[in-house]
Structure formats: structure tokens, C-alpha cells
């Protein structure tokens, strides 16, 4: 609760003070000119403590003061739940440095005060006092569960959600966004497509008015790394093994190399940017497992490169066609020069022509940055409307 003096000061300097739930305003002063600088503290709970949310925790430990000065907010971790580590809640805040240093062992949170070896997703969502939920659990491409339910529990309570999880977004984005609007919360998912490269927000904001009519992109870093490795002389199986060794591919690489991951991303982009209402079953999908070393060699001779391309296009009748498939791109294509685990996308626009964006498509800190970019967006929206 803000003191009367704090409310009066906020009003006097023209700043909003009625922020949702229990986030607080902390007034700092820049001594050189006595300028009042308002810092909002958001209580955040993390669902999943694998690479992404653990990286976000490290960023909170290292960058909170910088964010206060740069963006006007800080993050206080009040709860975490993870299938492997267990769970922990402290409404007064947990030490981010201590959390980032928890050993990667089963039930690791039980080594901390009030920690448990058992996950407690619902308890963390409903009772940690969080203003924000960072959802980074595993992706279920069939029904989006249990992540979709986690998002609903939070949004029903007016708690905003940022997620990197493709399942809830590809399968249930419209209902989750509607639920968020009904409770005054926000549902953001920038990291669900190209990790730290903010293509959704860039397309909606920076390319607003350009009349995007379609897109094609390299939307999976693992498959692109495999194809690049094959160009260096490895066969498909050895290239996949190399990707696994370097951490680009999971133990079961099927979702990456067969295009299933890209199909979900195509659905998200088509629905968000082209106004489609696609489901994964609407997207024709073929992966790269059929590409041979002979195919790679012949492409090189033809001055071309194989790429796994996810694409969608708005037709003249308003319908949307979408697909995922290996495509042989000439070297003059902007996407042909993209190698390794890098992602890229070309937006076809009626006003500007093709616009290509290249950036990180994988990585712990890169994806954690996407969560941060969503939190920055939420904070700006709250500041703008004075909630």
C-alpha cells in the first residue's frame, strides 16, 4: 500500500500510482537535479527453472538496478515451481543470486529455507502474491497442457503472463488474450517464435502500415545448424549428433528436424500477423531428415543452399496458405546466407517490399531476453494507462 505522501508526490509530478495488485512504487532521487524517479517493483513467479528462467534469474541478479534506471522497474522473485528442482515461495522476495547458484540436482530447492523438493505450480500462481508469471515449462504440441492451464490460472486472477512456450500460444492464444483483457492482465509471448529476436513486436509496431502479406523464415536453429554442418561434410546423423553435443538439439530431435517446432511458429505468426485462424493441422509439414549428403553437394554445385522454411501467405481471396518444407534457395535469396543456429525471417510487404530480420533463434539468455522484452512492454502499457 502506498503512503498518502507517496500518492501525493506521484500526483504532483504527474505519474500514475494505481498499479494493479501489490506492485509498489519506490521513489528515488537523482541528486544532481533533485528529479523524482519512480521505480515500480513487480513481484514475479517463475514456472519452470530450466535454462530460460534460470537465465532470467541471473539477469535479475545482475541487472535489476540497471533496469530501475533504464526502464523504471525492478523485479522481485517471490516463487518458483519446477518439475526437477521443486518449489519455493517467499512473498517478501527471494535472493536472485542465491537462486541462480542452486545446484542442478533433483529437488534442489529443498536446500533453501522454505524450499520443497516437490513442484507446486498452482500454489505458486495463486498464493505467492505475484504480479507477473514467467511461464517457461515444456512445450506440448498436442493440447498445450499443462502450460495452458497455468496461464489460465494466472490470468483469471488478473496476473499478467509472459511465456516462451509455443503450445499455449499456437493452440489457445485467442482465448488466453480474451481472458487477459477481461481481467485487466496481459498475455505476452515474444519469445515463442525467434527467442531473443523480437519479430512479433517488430512486425506489429515497426512495420505497422507496411501491409504484411506473408512471410518465409528459418525458424529453427537446430535444423539450420544440421544443414550447415552437412555442408561442411558431415552426414545427417553425425550433424544431428554434433548439434546434440553442443546443446542445440534435444535427446529426441524429432520436433526440430521434422519441422514440428517450425509448424507451431508458423501458426503463431500467421494468426498474429496475417489475421489467420490456423491450427497446426492446417500447416503442411515436411522436415529435413530426407536431405542427403548428395543433395547438399548438388546444391553447392548449383550455387544454392537447402533451408527448412516455414512460410505463410495471404491469398487474393483472403485465405491463408501455410507450410513447412525444405527448400532449395539460390544464393541471392536473403535467407540463403544464414548459417549455423541463427534464425531469420523475410516479411513480404506491399509498401516496403521484402524486409528481412536476422537474429538469435536459440540460447538461454537470448530467450530470457524475450521474457524481459515482454515485461518491458507490460510496464510501458501500465505506465501509459496509469494502472
Dump pLDDT digits (tens) for 334-386: 999 999 999 999 999 999 999 999 998 778 898 999 999 999 999 999 888 66
Reported confidence tier of residue 111, pLDDT bands at 50, 70, 90 = very high
- Could you check whether 4-195+366-385 and 203-360 share the same CATH topology? no
Report the distance separating Cα 5 and Cα 315, nearest Å.
Answer: 58
pTM for the full model?
0.89
* Residues contacting 92, CB < 8 A, separation 6+: 78
366 annotated among ligand-binding-site residues: no
Give residue-wise pLDDT tens across range 153-206. Answer: 999 999 999 999 999 999 999 999 999 999 999 999 999 999 889 899 999 999
Instruction: Tell me: pLDDT of 387 over 80.
Output: no
Reported confidence tier of residue 31, pLDDT bands at 50, 70, 90 = very low
Domain ranges of the chain: 4-195+366-385, 203-360
Give residue-wise pLDDT tens across range 61-78. Answer: 999 999 999 999 999 999
CA 62 to chain centre: 20
C-alpha cell at 365: 539468455
Q: Which CATH superfamily is domain 4-195+366-385 in?
A: NAD(P)-binding Rossmann-like Domain (3.40.50.720)
Give residue-wise pLDDT tens across range 83-101. Answer: 999 999 999 999 999 999 9
20 annotated among ligand-binding-site residues: no
Of the residues 74, 177, 265, 307, only one is catalytic, namely 265
Instruction: Tell me: pLDDT of 270 over 70.
Output: yes
C-alpha cell at 34: 533533485
Tell me, yes or no, if 265 is annotated catalytic.
yes
Of the options 3.10.180.10, 3.40.50.12160, 3.40.50.300, 3.30.360.10, the CATH number for the domain spanning 203-360: 3.30.360.10
Amino acid at each position: 500500500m502506498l503512503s498518502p505522501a507517496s500518492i501525493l508526490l506521484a500526483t504532483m509530478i504527474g505519474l500514475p500510482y494505481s498499479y494493479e495488485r501489490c506492485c509498489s512504487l519506490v521513489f528515488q532521487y537523482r541528486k544532481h537535479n533533485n528529479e523524482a524517479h519512480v521505480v515500480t517493483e513487480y513481484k514475479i513467479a517463475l514456472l519452470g527453472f530450466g535454462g530460460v528462467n534460470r537465465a532470467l534469474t541471473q539477469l535479475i541478479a545482475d541487472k535489476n538496478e540497471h533496469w530501475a534506471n533504464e526502464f523504471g522497474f525492478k523485479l522481485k522473485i517471490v516463487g518458483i515451481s519446477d518439475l526437477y528442482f521443486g518449489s519455493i515461495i517467499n512473498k517478501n522476495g527471494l535472493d536472485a543470486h542465491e537462486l541462480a547458484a542452486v545446484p542442478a540436482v533433483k529437488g534442489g530447492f529443498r536446500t533453501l529455507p522454505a524450499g520443497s523438493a516437490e513442484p507446486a505450480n498452482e500454489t505458486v500462481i495463486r498464493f505467492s502474491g505475484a504480479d507477473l508469471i514467467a511461464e517457461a515449462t515444456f512445450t506440448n504440441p498436442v493440447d498445450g497442457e499443462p502450460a495452458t492451464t497455468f496461464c489460465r490460472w494466472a490470468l483469471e486472477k488478473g496476473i499478467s503472463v509472459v511465456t516462451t512456450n509455443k503450445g499455449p500460444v499456437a493452440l489457445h492464444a485467442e482465448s488466453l488474450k480474451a481472458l487477459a483483457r477481461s481481467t485487466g492482465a496481459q498475455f505476452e509471448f515474444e519469445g515463442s517464435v525467434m527467442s531473443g529476436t523480437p519479430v512479433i513486436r517488430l512486425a506489429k509496431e515497426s512495420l505497422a502500415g507496411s501491409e504484411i502479406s506473408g512471410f518465409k523464415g528459418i525458424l529453427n536453429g537446430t535444423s539450420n545448424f544440421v544443414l550447415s554442418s552437412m555442408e561442411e561434410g558431415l552426414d545427417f546423423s553425425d550433424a544431428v549428433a554434433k548439434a546434440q553435443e553442443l546443446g542445440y538439439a534435444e535427446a529426441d530431435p524429432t520436433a526440430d528436424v521434422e519441422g514440428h517446432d517450425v509448424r507451431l511458429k508458423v501458426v503463431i505468426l500467421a494468426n498474429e500477423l496475417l489475421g489467420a485462424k490456423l491450427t497446426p493441422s492446417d500447416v503442411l509439414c515436411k522436415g529435413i531428415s530426407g536431405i542427403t549428403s548428395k543433395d547438399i553437394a548438388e546444391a553447392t554445385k548449383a550455387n544454392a543452399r537447402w533451408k527448412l522454411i516455414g512460410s505463410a501467405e495471404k491469398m487474393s481471396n483472403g485465405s491463408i496458405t501455410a507450410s513447412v518444407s525444405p527448400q532449395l534457395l539460390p544464393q541471392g535469396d536473403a535467407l540463403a546466407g544464414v548459417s549455423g543456429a541463427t534464425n531469420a525471417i523475410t516479411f513480404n510487404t506491399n509498401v516496403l517490399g521484402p524486409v528481412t530480420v536476422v537474429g538469435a533463434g536459440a540460447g538461454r539468455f537470448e530467450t530470457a531476453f524475450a521474457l524481459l522484452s515482454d515485461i518491458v512492454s507490460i510496464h510501458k502499457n501500465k505506465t501509459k494507462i496509469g494502472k
